[in-house]
Every structure is written in C-alpha cells, then in structure tokens.
Structure 1
Amino acid sequence: MRIFAFTPMLGALFASALLTFSEPARAASAASDFASPEALMEWAATYREHPAPYRLPEAVHAMQRFGLLGDTEKRGFCTGFIAGVLGTNPKDGPGLVAGMFPMPGKEQAVIIKAIAYSGRPDWEDVLIRYRSKMPLREPMIADYLNGKEPLLMQADLDQDTELIYTLWGYYAATGQYQPVMRIIDALRWAKAKDEPGFSWSKLTAGWTRDPKGVDKATIGGTAKWTLASYGERNRNLIALYRSELPRQPKEIAAPLRDVIEAAELFKSEDVREDQLTAIQEAQKQQVVEANGMSKLETAGSIGIATGCVAATALGQAQVTVPCVIGGALYSGAVKLLH
C-alpha cells in the first residue's frame, strides 16, 4: 500500500476540499480507499512512523463500513484513535471532522466522543460547529458541552472496558504515555499472580460490598491482560512499566510486576487465563451472596476482550488483522449447584 507523505500544503488543500465537496462525493471518495481491514490496520499500525492525518476521514468511513464501530472493544479503540489524531493536529482538526460525514446516527456517537476526548483546547467550538449535522445526537452533544459527561482523562475507570480500549487507541495514535498511565491505575482491581484466588477486599465500598464489584474485576483484568499483551508487541511500554513500578501503591505494584514479567517472557496468555478465572470467581461469589446457596444457573459474557484491534495497531498488523472482523469477547458461564 502506498503511503503519501504529509505536508502542510497538502493538508491545507485536503482540508479545503473536504469543506467544499458535496456529501455524496465525500462518501464515494471514502469508499474508494481502505478496501480491506488489512489496509486500514496497516495504516493505523504505521501511523506514528508515517503520519497521514488527511486520511482520517477515509479511515472513519472504513471503520463504519467494516463494522468496527458497533463492538465495544473495537469501537473504543477507534474512538481513541480518532481522538488522538484530532488532538495532535490542531490546524487540520475541523477539516478532518467535516470529511467524516455523512455518518449514521448511531455511529455519530463515535465522532462526538472523539472530538470531546481529543484534548484540543477548542474541542467545544469544533463540536458546536458540526452539531447541526447530528440533530439526533443533540442530547449527547449537550451533555458534553454542559460538562455532564466527563472527558477521556477524567472519566471514571470503573464504568466499562470500552474506556480501557479508548485509552489504548489514543496511545496508538499519539505515543503519549498519559493514557497508559490511566490503564495502569485500573490494576488496583486486578488479581495479582501470588494471590490464592479472588479477593473481595479489592472491591469493598466502606463496610458493604461494591455493587460494581464484578465490573471492576473485569476492568482490572482487561487492564492487566492488555498491558501485558501490548507490552509484548511494543517493548518501549515495558520500560514505562518498570519506571512506574516504584511509584505505585502495593495494590497496583503487585499486578504491575506480573505484567512486566509476562510481557518480557511473552506469557501474556497466562495473564488472560488467570484474570478470566478471577472474574468467574467474582461472579460466583456475587451470585452466592445475593442468593444464598439456592440452586441456580447463570451465564454471562466475561469481558476480557481479545484486544485484537489495539494489538494490531500497536505493532503486528500482519499477524492479528484477521481478528478485526472475527474478534469477540471470551465468554464464560458460572454454574452454581447445591
């Protein structure tokens, strides 16, 4: 695939064209590029080495076309990646956003979040500029403009795993370590290797059980698994982990030490299996406490995703591209019998 060098003049010409093209013309232009997920992921994987922000609108249309904006993991990563490109291209941002339309109403949420998460000082102005193109999303736009919805670096980590992948997407586009630091902070909810089993002590709220206990265990497990998995592919991350280890409290340092060891020895799969077991145990304990020892059966999706999209963009596109289409959550069932 040919990668064009980006120059300020080319960027200005492209931004001008985006603002003057008709909507159908932009859609047709977007459809002509990134003909496969492989092409899209190759561009993302090499973006920092060969920045081509003028291709972002085409990439966003391709993400929608390949269904990447409808899955939690993939949508989160794509949102963060788009936000990172917008945030590191202050002059071209408004023109890049213009080229992302038309976009179906459901997927417009990705554009709104990407603008708000970009870290641009003018993100509110950019969002206001394009709100007329997203009338069905006016309530969501208003929530961000009114401060009811948090920005990326302020959002609570205990919401869901999508935020973890959004942070990875921002890192993939920018190389900035702040998003990774936030992911490390989620290790407080992960099981350390030397712990005998799942412990509710990580998930207590005062003297009561935390109603988000299982969610936090899932988020902590996802953080630990992705930190190890992506550290295998990007060895610079291991240096960051090591530099942060002495600064972290015990509840973060223990799982972070596991991450470093697994990444260095290419044993991230062991981390995934260990965290999956911990989450299943958390589910089991929560159900037992809620229902006593009555006979019941419950099944659920264990939200440690494959991480394939972020893994692809963090350095091994040729190996992990197939999971862009086929990647799914690891599912598990908890069966309690008495």
Structure 2
Amino acid sequence: MRYAAFLTALFLLIPPADAAIPPEIDPNASLAVVQRWIYNYRGKPDYAHVPAAVRVLFHAQTFKEPESAGIYLGFIAGAIGSNPARAEQLVDSFFPVPPEDEWVVVRAIAYSGLPDWRNLLRKIAPRMPGRQVMIDDYLAGRLPTLANIPLEETKPGMLDKLRGAFTRNPFAKDDKKVNTQLTFANSQDLLDTLWGYYFATGSHLPIERIISMLPWSKSRDTVDKLTVGSMARYTLASYAVRDTELREFLRSQLAQAPKDVKVPLGEAVDAADTVQLAAVRKEALAAVDELKTKGSDSRRNLDFWGQVGVGAVALGCVSAAALGQVAIGIPCVIGGSASQGLLSFWEKQQ
C-alpha cells in the first residue's frame, strides 16, 4: 500500500483556504506560518519578506528530505526568477546557508528560469565550495533545468530492443546501474516543484506542464505514472477550488486540449466547480490499487500474446524481413522454445 499511502499523504497536504496571513514573516516564525504565506503569495506578492521566509525554511530543516521539499524549492526558484533585476541581491540575502542545504540554492538558481542564471550561479559558487561538483554539472548541462526535464524517458522501439538483445554478449555479467535520469514520470516531487514555482510567480507555464501529465491519470502503464497523473489531476482541482483565475485558465484550455488531456482536465474542472474533490481522490486510490493487483496493461497484453505463441514469432520474422532489418539477426526458428524465449525477453523490458 506504499503508493496509496503516498497519495493519501499528499492529498492531506492541501492547505486551508481561509488561514490568516501575517503581514510580515518573523525569521523565528513557525513552518506553518510560512506555509500559509507561500500558498497565498501569488495573490499578494511580498518580495521583501522572501529572505525571512527562506531562513525559516532552513531553520525548520525543511530540506532534510529533498523528495518532500519540492514545493519549497519551487517557490524559491520562482522568487529568484520573478525579479531578474534583484535576483542576485535576493540570493545573497539567503546566506549564511547551512552546508547541508546549499544544494537548495544551487538548484533554485538553475530552476529559476532566469536568462542569465549561469552567470548568477558562477558568482555564487565561491560561497559554496562543497557544491562545486553539482554547480559544474548544471553549468555543463549534465543536470537539467526545470524547463528541460522531460516528461518521461524515451523508450527504445521494438527493433532497438531486439538489436540490443542479440548483439549483447549472453555470457557477460549484467551490471545493473542506478537510473539517475530525471523525469516527471519517475520523480513525484517535481510536481510539487511546479506548484511552488506557480505560487511564487502566478505563471501559467508550470500549470501547462502539469496539464500535460493528466493523461497518466488514465494510464495503466506504471504505478509511478499513474500516481503522478492522479496527483496532477487532484491538485489542479483542489487549488482551482480556491483560485478563480486558475479555474478560468483551466477551463480555457479545454477547447484546445487533445482528447487524452481533455477528459481528465474536464474532470478536474468539474470537481473544482462543484467542490467534489473526494470522488477524484477515491478514483485515484482505486486505480493505484487495481494496477498493483492486476499489473500493467503491457503485462496483461504480454499474457495475451503468450497464448498466440508461435504465430507471433513468425509474424515478427516477416515484419523484420519486410523492413530490411536482417542485420539484427532475429532467430526466425518457429517453435515453442523460440516463442517463450521472445516472451521472456519482452517481460524483462517492461
């Protein structure tokens, strides 16, 4: 139930709409005060008190668990990017920064969207020598900015998979490496980062990015994508309940949205209009449980093709020949063992 618990916990993070907001942020204020201030910032930007709010976040050890701090990271990045003329002054005001939290400043600058973010990062680098590797990776493009993070990994096609399978040494030791490629599909905290950026700027760009994830709420491909897509739909509906401008923007996107976006976006708008959030949450949790119980569509399709067996392998040989892909070396030996071997290969690729 890990993913269901994750969904439930995130649903509970949606803040109350009518919380009183103090006019200023005391550096010794509680985290709850800063949270309410952030959630309401876009309605009445208070740029002068961003440094005090950030100091509270550092003092409260908000970034101790990076995967649960996305919304605060996004807010800081948005605050930096919202006023290019004062960006360097704002970043300077964050210091001194606890050494364990210096990564936040580095990533916030890279995620800020400033046209000149690289020069700002170079200027601030001498104050954070312990993060030089991370700084160099951003400057060299080895780590992506927020705008350049892909929605999901580009999956190799069928021929690419087969080419890799039959050119790999079958006796070589299979050294598995940790997949460090950052995507919205495999990093659920990035959704929070987009919301934090929106709270700081009111920009529709992060909202458009969130909308593009909505088809995953109907996906039965992976639990990660279903979770992120469901959370995208739920958070859009939840925040739009209290944000008339956001609700109108979402409604304006319906007419031009492609079909796979239009359905879940319409559900989010309808839930916001009627304040029926419980149904969206319930459907999301049920979908995650179903996926965990029954497996992905690709796994169920694999079971189906397992019944086709020999015919599927024969068709693969014909298709490869027609496409002139003889070089990939498909073993066109029609028989049960060949069929099962191919199915076993496909299972490992899911």
Task: Give the TM-score range, shorter chain.
Answer: 0.5 to 0.7
Equivalent residue number for residue 66 of structure 1: 60
- What is the total number of aligned residue pairs between the two structures? 248
Distance 2:147 2:226 in 1: 21
Structure 1's 103 and 280: CA in aligned 2 closer, same or farther, altered over 3 A? farther
Q: Does 1:254 align with 2:248?
A: no
Equivalent residue number for residue 216 of structure 1: 225
3-state SS in 2 of match to 1:106: helix
Counterpart amino acid of residue 218 in structure 1: T
| Greater C-alpha radius of gyration | 2
> What do the CA deviations read for 1:87-107 (whole angstroms, capped 9, x no partner)?
111121111111212223332
What is the Cα deviation at residue 57 of structure 1? 2.1
3-state SS in 1 of match to 2:132: helix
Equivalent residue number for residue 202 of structure 2: 175
What is the Cα deviation at residue 74 of structure 1? 4.8
Distance 2:99 2:268 in 1: 39
Aligned 1:267-278 pairs, distance under 5 A: 267-278=276-287
What is the Cα deviation at residue 34 of structure 1? 4.6
Q: TM-score, normalised by structure 2?
A: 0.65
What is the Cα deviation at residue 72 of structure 1? 5.4
Distance 1:233 1:2 in 2: 19
Equivalent residue number for residue 50 of structure 2: 56
Q: TM-score, normalised by structure 1?
A: 0.67
Q: Which has the higher helix share?
A: 2
Maintained 8 Å contact 2:81/2:87: yes
Counterpart amino acid of residue 141 in structure 1: I
The runs of at least 4 consecutive aligned structure 1 residues that moved more than 6 Å come to: none
Equivalent residue number for residue 187 of structure 1: 214
Distance 2:278 2:266 in 1: 16
Counterpart amino acid of residue 35 in structure 1: A
Distance 1:74 1:49 in 2: 24
Distance 2:259 2:249 in 1: 18
Q: Report the identity percentage.
A: 37
> What do the CA deviations read for 1:258-303 (whole angstroms, capped 9, x no partner)?
111111111122212211221222223349959x99xxxxxxxxxx
Counterpart amino acid of residue 92 in structure 1: R
Distance 2:44 2:264 in 1: 34
Q: Which has the higher strand share?
A: 1
Q: Which structure 2 segments of 5+ residues have no match?
A: 1-20, 151-183, 304-350
Structure 1's 48 and 257: CA in aligned 2 closer, same or farther, altered over 3 A? closer
Equivalent residue number for residue 283 of structure 1: 292
Equivalent residue number for residue 102 of structure 1: 96
Structure 1's 135 and 283: CA in aligned 2 closer, same or farther, altered over 3 A? farther
Equivalent residue number for residue 23 of structure 2: 3
What is the Cα deviation at residue 130 of structure 1? 1.2
Query: Which of 120, 143, 162 is residue 126 of structure 1 equivalent to?
Result: 120
Distance 2:127 2:288 in 1: 42
Counterpart amino acid of residue 239 in structure 2: Y
Distance 1:232 1:158 in 2: 26
Distance 1:50 1:222 in 2: 26
Query: Which of 97, 102, 106 is residue 112 of structure 1 equivalent to?
Result: 106
> What do the CA deviations read for 1:170-207 (whole angstroms, capped 9, x no partner)?
1111111111010000001003xxxxxxx53xx3xxxx
3-state SS in 2 of match to 1:216: helix
Q: Does 1:76 align with 2:70?
A: yes
What is the Cα deviation at residue 63 of structure 1? 0.9
Distance 2:42 2:273 in 1: 24
Maintained 8 Å contact 1:116/1:151: yes
